[in-house]
Amino acid sequence: MAGQTDPHISLFSPQEVEFMAEDELVEIVPNMNMEQLNFISGDFGRFIPQIPTKVPLWLAVALKRRGKCSFRPPGWMSVDNLTQILEAERESQSTFQALPFSYVEIARLLFDHAHDDIPDKYMVRSLVEDIRDVRLHKLETNLGSFQGTSAVKISNVSAMEVNIVRPFVRRALEAFYKHDKPEADIDRDTRSSRQQREANNEPRRPLRQR
Amino acid sequence: MASNSETRGSSADYETMMSASDVELLKRAWRNEKAAPEILQYEGALVERAKEQIELVEESVEDYVENGKDPLLVSLYQMDLDRTQFLLRSYLRVRLLKIEKFMFHNLKSEEAERRLSEQERVFATKCADDLAKHFEETVLLKLPENYQSVLKQSQISEVDDMVPQPHLDTFVVCRSNNFVSLNLYEEGESPETVEMERGDLYFIRYKIVKGAIESGQIDLI
């Protein structure tokens, strides 16, 4: 039902994250004539055969499924670009490469519905999966090195990745904050044992002793 | 989003005045509401506008179906309608969820009460009354004298400690729309600041960004 995701598992369900990503604009090439569409969310069209036009992702997928258009894969999804990004991701241990915020969802929807519009689709698909793996792994290892602060900067992390780590990081950071508040120096002794208890839904890693 | 000002529909006579930004605004309000631990300001005007547009489109879709318009177009309009309806409904439902969760707190705190719409306030009062009555009849009246209050643990409590309060120190993920500099700690403690550039993502304590969210400088993700 709308609005009833269990807040203890995750604030947004993956479907909701995908829903948010579906408003991203992508380029399609229609193969039929259609008048302009006056939606609540905006005006799109006119649709003229062979003239590329930008529409939201959900509309593009709907048209594609009915055989009314073909996709123009976004620029960042080329084999060259993705190989470059993959290498850069593997090199750096702590920074993330700049990718579109919803790259996971966009790639997923394109693979599911428009794979024949993607040149070298198997290559592209395996590259995207590799990039996802490397980034998730990086995210996990970086989580173990948080200091107790009130704000942690995460640049270039995408929507799905944020959603995955959100529950754990929230609890971990809350625990850090609770024990690090300036008046809470008395708790210093009991802090290390409490930290262990908070962080036990990911495989155990040695948290920094304070 | 396709940028546009006013355009007229083809057969149906409705205006799509700034509708691109309305759905965006609704999406933003929905996202913020979902991610925030406490209830946020009710976007009355936005909800009204969205409701009107939805009704208009519903009518025109019915017209299309009756007039036998191209079923492809009808289904596309229907999809757009469904999406907007989902946003609106989910927004209202998330607020109701929060009201139910923090029922007594919302009625006690003036700040929270200001953020509810008229109907929400009515709902909250009735709900709180019913709940209080239920507790009293089933449990509280059977407890010894000093423990019969719904709001306090016992007569000797100074504050209403049976009232759950929203957890404002929760960490949220946010993205800033402008350059913003925020004070990390509260008054009197060490004044550390965090500076956010446009487009940066941060895990941060909700209390710190609360004001910036209300003024629209920061979005929750």
**pLDDT tens, residue by residue, A143-187:** 777 665 667 788 888 998 888 888 888 888 888 777 776 544 444
With CA atoms as reference, report the closest residue to A36 among B12, B10, B11: B10
Report chain A residues whose CB lies below 8 A from the CB of B92. Answer: 3
Q: What is the per-residue pLDDT for A147?
A: 64
Q: What is the DSSP letter of A102?
A: T
Identify which of A40, A166, A170 has the shortest CB distance to residue B53: A40
Q: What is the per-residue pLDDT for B141?
A: 80
Q: What is the per-residue pLDDT for B55?
A: 93
Q: Which two tokens stand for residue A206?
A: 């040695």
Q: Helix, strand, coil: what percent of chain A each, to 5?
A: 50, 10, 35
Q: What is the per-residue pLDDT for A189?
A: 40
Q: Taking a C-beta distance cutoff of 8 angstroms, is the pair A20, B112 a contact? A: no
**A192 or B88: whose pLDDT is higher?**
B88
- Subunit contact A177:B169, Cβ cutoff 8 A: yes
Residues facing B71 on adjacent strands: none
- Subunit contact A162:B20, Cβ cutoff 8 A: no
Q: What is the per-residue pLDDT for A9?
A: 62
Task: Assess whether pLDDT exceeds 60 at residue A99.
Answer: yes
Q: What is the DSSP letter of A209?
A: P
Report chain B residues whose CB lies below 8 A from the CB of A98. Answer: none
- Give SS3 for B20: helix
Q: Taking a C-beta distance cutoff of 8 angstroms, is the pair A71, A28 a contact? A: yes
Q: Helix, strand, coil: what percent of chain B each, to 5?
A: 55, 10, 35
The CA-based diameter of chain B, rounded to the nearest angstrom, is: 72
Q: What angle do CA B197, B198, B199 make, to 5 degrees?
A: 110
Identify which of B90, B189, B221 has the shortest CB distance to residue A159: B221
Q: How many Å lie between the alpha carbon of A154 and the closest alpha carbon of chain B?
A: 5
Q: What is the per-residue pLDDT for B70?
A: 85
Task: Assess whether pLDDT exceeds 70 at residue A62.
Answer: yes
Q: What is the per-residue pLDDT for A194?
A: 41
Averaged confidence pLDDT in chain A = 80
pLDDT band for A35, please (50, 70, 90 cuts). confident
At residue B150, what is the residue type? V
Report chain A residues whose CB lies below 8 A from the CB of B90. Answer: 2-3
Chain B touched by A6 (CB under 8 Å): no
Q: Is the dihedral of CA B63, B69, B71, B75 positive or negative?
A: negative
Q: What are the Cα distances from residue A141, in Å, to A165, A206, B38, B203?
A: 12, 11, 31, 17
Residues facing A72 on adjacent strands: A27
Q: How many Å lie between the alpha carbon of A121 and the closest alpha carbon of chain B?
A: 28
Q: What is the per-residue pLDDT for A193?
A: 40
ipTM, 2 dp: 0.78
Identify which of B94, B202, B221 has the shortest CB distance to residue A152: B202
Q: What is the per-residue pLDDT for A174?
A: 81
Q: Which two tokens stand for residue A23?
A: 């408003």
For strand B218-220 and strand B201-205, is the pairing parallel, antiparallel, or unpaired?
unpaired
Report chain B residues whose CB lies below 8 A from the CB of A169. Answer: 171, 203
Task: Assess whether pLDDT exceeds 70 at residue A8.
Answer: no
Q: Taking a C-beta distance cutoff of 8 angstroms, is the pair B50, B22 a contact? A: yes
Identify which of B20, B94, B190 has the shortest CB distance to residue A3: B94
Cis peptide before A46 (omega within 30 of 0): yes
Q: What is the per-residue pLDDT for A191?
A: 42
Give every residue of chain B whose pLDDT is below 70, as ranges.
1-20, 183-191
Mean pLDDT of A65-81: 90
Hunting for tokens 């009246």 — which residue is that? Answer: B141
Q: Taking a C-beta distance cutoff of 8 angstroms, is the pair B220, B174 a contact? A: yes
Buried b (16+ CB within 10 A) or exposed e, B146-175: eebbbebeeeeeeeeeebeebeebbbbbbb
Measured distance between the N- and C-terminal CA atoms of chain A, rounded to whole angstroms: 45
User: How far is A131 from A139, CA to CA, in rounded Å?
Assistant: 12
Q: What is the per-residue pLDDT for B183?
A: 65
H/E segment holding residue A28: strand A25-30
Question: What is B75-111 written as a DSSP string?
Answer: HHHHHHHHHHHHHHHHHHHHHHHHHHHTHHHHHH-HH
Q: What is the per-residue pLDDT for A171?
A: 83
Q: How many Å lie between the alpha carbon of A68 and the closest alpha carbon of chain B?
A: 10
